[in-house]
Amino acid sequence: MRARWRKLPFGLVASSVQRASLGAALGLLFLCCLQHPAVASLRVQFLDGQGGTRVLRSWSVGKLTYIPASDLADVLGARTFVSSKAPKFVLYFGGENVVVTALNPFVVVGTRTFQMFGETLLRDGEFWVPEESFCSFLTRMFPDELRYLPDTHVLQVRSRGVNILAVEAKEKANGTLIHIRTSRPFKAEHVSTRYSHGWLYVDIYGGKVDSAHLSLQLDSKLVKSVVPLQLGQTAQLSFRLRREVSQRKVYCRDNPPEILVSLRTAEVLSEKILETLRRERQKWLIDAVVIDPGHGGHDPGSIGRRGTYEKDVTLAIAKRLKRILEREVGVKVYMTRSTDRFVPLKDRTKFANEKGAKLFISIHANANRNRRVHGVETYFLGPAKTEEAREVARLENSAIRYEDDIHDYKDLSDENFILAALAQNSFNHESQDLAALIQRNLVRYTGLQDRGVRQAGYYVLIGAAMPNVLVETAFISNPREERLLKSPKFQEKVARAIANAVRVFKRRYEKELAALR
């Protein structure tokens, strides 16, 4: 017999199998809640003087004091995610994913598991964690940023100083070795690199850099300059190179904490080969763009609480974007649909390939079961690195249920997504570069929360023979952002943000082509 879920007092969730064993405990919790009202609230103090002191809500259960995990995340400026597959709450902080589960005393960080003195409770749709255990755990995990004083119920937040201290580039016999000195160790999976049009980008998730205080020493003919930039929770170091690199590798050391980037330069090519490359690259002047308004026809996409259809929002933004690109950027624009009709996912990139498009931009509106989640995201094709990214991709990929034949997608497993991404490797760097430009402009034009550039396995991006991205413009599940998505003024802001990103990308790309003439 399949277990059914229902709500119990204080919003605790349990299955029919668990109800008998939980009944007595819940009754005791009910009595304890009546006898032990909240007597102390957690105070969060910002020691840098910028945030003052914030007081969080509290809930006394027996001898334990609970606080809402979402409130703590808001105070710390951390992103959150609530899984739709299981009662899990994810807090992204300091480059780590901190996961708690309802009716479970454990906290999971990566492959590590820690136990709290009390379970995470689900009350009125909110996750409540035991204050002392959870705050003590966070302090152990992030000693440079947090300090917890249990006797006075105070969580001190230190000034989030820089942890990227210095960059040194040294010339070696077989290439160049870049030393990035840090104040703490970083995991290899939190460091990514990409090369595009003479720039090497090193992204350090959880890194914090201050361009005014970054020590630079460039003893290499390969590295021309370094541009440090802070992008949300990621520190980006951009290296302007004098020559193309043929190979790059990243190594992370714990003692002393350091990130090493090894670069090998490409071999010198003959003039005949260079001339062939010039001719080929001339074919890739960005003169045609395909805009893909998500969903359509009998596929409404996500639906807001006020009845707003994602398919209508994406089409409205796409039409505005088409007008701006053609009039102000000077490119030919094709749309996978210009009316409310359904287009199979596989036919969208096929259409772009047939039109000889140089960019493919798919426009969507995001959704989450937690209506408080908000902000903008931009994706490029690749294996998802977080459960949140997988959830968003699954939601968009669910559009295949509206197609006549879903067997075309039966082999698109996570592994095949990786293979598909590798097959498009010649455009992966450009796709990531375009996604970063779009994300930066969306945040600047709309003022919405920056949820970052991510990668995930979107069916609609498979097979595109050009740089391709998927834009999640805002959360239609969030009441405020649903109203924004319906607003022509907001739609125009989104369209102009994407258009400006395309303009900058086109200028950069074609400038590199011109340099080869």
CA–CA separation, 429 and 295 (whole Å): 27
What integer pLDDT is reported at residue 392 of this predicted model? 56
Using the structure block, give the residue that is written with the tokens 């924004």: 484
C-beta separation of 139 from 73 below 8 A = no
Highest mean pLDDT (candidates 74-88, 157-171, 317-331, 390-404):
317-331
Residue 146: both structure tokens together: 């947090």
Per-residue pLDDT, averaged over 460-471, amounts to 82
User: Beta strands 245-254 and 234-241: pairing type?
Assistant: unpaired
The number of beta carbons lying within 10 Å of the beta carbon of residue 72 is: 23
Residue 513 has pLDDT above 90, yes or no: no
pLDDT of 359 reads: 93
Q: How many CB atoms lie within 10 A of CB 512?
A: 14
Place of tokens 């929770």: 233
Q: Tokens for 310?
A: 């994602």
Between 211 and 202, whose confidence is greater? 202
Q: What is the pLDDT of residues 231-289, one digit of tens each?
A: 877 889 999 988 887 788 888 887 678 899 988 875 555 666 666 656 656 666 888 99
Q: Across the strands, what pairs with 82?
A: 89
The CB density around residue 421, as the number of other CB atoms within 10 Å, is 19
Ranges 24-28, 203-207, 386-390: which has the least confidence: 24-28
Beta bridge partners of 259: 180, 252
| Other CB atoms within 10 A of residue 500 CB | 20
Closest CA to 514 of 281, 289, 356: 281
Distance, CA of 123 to chain centre:
28
* Per-residue confidence band for 175, with pLDDT thresholds at 50, 70 and 90: confident
Look up residue 294 and give its DSSP letter: -
Between 392 and 301, whose confidence is greater? 301
Between 77 and 50, the more confident residue is 77
The predicted structure's pLDDT at residue 39: 52
pLDDT in the model for residue 25: 43
* Separation CA 87–CA 84 (nearest Å): 7
Helix (H, G, I), strand (E, B) or coil at 457: coil
Range among 38-47, 51-60, 236-245, 381-390 rated most confident? 236-245
Between 156 and 291, the higher pLDDT residue: 291
Inter-residue long-range contacts of 408-416, CB under 8 Å, 24+ positions, other chains counted: 408/346, 409/345, 409/346, 409/459, 412/457, 412/459, 412/462, 414/383, 414/384, 414/457
More confident residue, 13 or 371: 371
Dist CA 29 CA 255 (whole Å): 47
Provide the β-strand partners of residue 230: 235
Span 314-325, average pLDDT: 96
Report the pLDDT averaged over residues 60-76.
87
pLDDT tier at 160, thresholds 50, 70, 90? low
Query: What mean pLDDT is reported for the chain?
Result: 79
Strand partners, 296: 299
Please list, residue by residue across 109-125, b when 16 or more beta carbons sit within 10 angstroms of its beta carbon and e when fewer do: eeeeebebebbbbbbee
pLDDT tens, residue by residue, 399-443: 545 555 545 545 444 545 544 444 444 577 788 889 999 999 999
Under 8 Å between Cβ of 376 and 470: no
| Length reported for the chain | 517
Report pLDDT digits (tens) over 342-351: 988 888 888 9
Q: 28 or 471: which carries more pLDDT confidence?
A: 471
Q: What is the dihedral of CA 362, 365, 366, 371, to 10 degrees?
A: 180
d(CA 301, CA 308) in angstroms, rounded, equals 10
**pLDDT 10s digits, 102-146:** 999 999 887 788 888 889 999 888 999 999 999 998 888 877 778
Residue 396 has a pLDDT of: 53
pLDDT at 9: 34
CA angle (200, 206, 207) in 5-degree steps: 55
Kindly list the structural domains of the chain, giving each domain's residue range(s) and its CATH number in brackets, ordered by start. 5-157 (3.30.457.10), 164-265 (2.60.40.3500), 271-515 (3.40.630.40)
Determine the straight-line distance between the first and last CA of the chain, rounded to whole angstroms: 72
Contact 320, 492 (CB under 8 A): yes
Spatial CB neighbours of 162, under 8 Å, sequence gap ≥ 6? 183, 208, 209, 210, 213, 214
As a whole number, mean pLDDT of residues 472-500 equals 95
Predicted local confidence at residue 362, as pLDDT: 92
Asked if 465 and 357 touch (Cβ cutoff 8 Å), the reply is no
Neighbours of 335 (CB within 10 A): 18
CB 21 within 8 A of CB 134: no
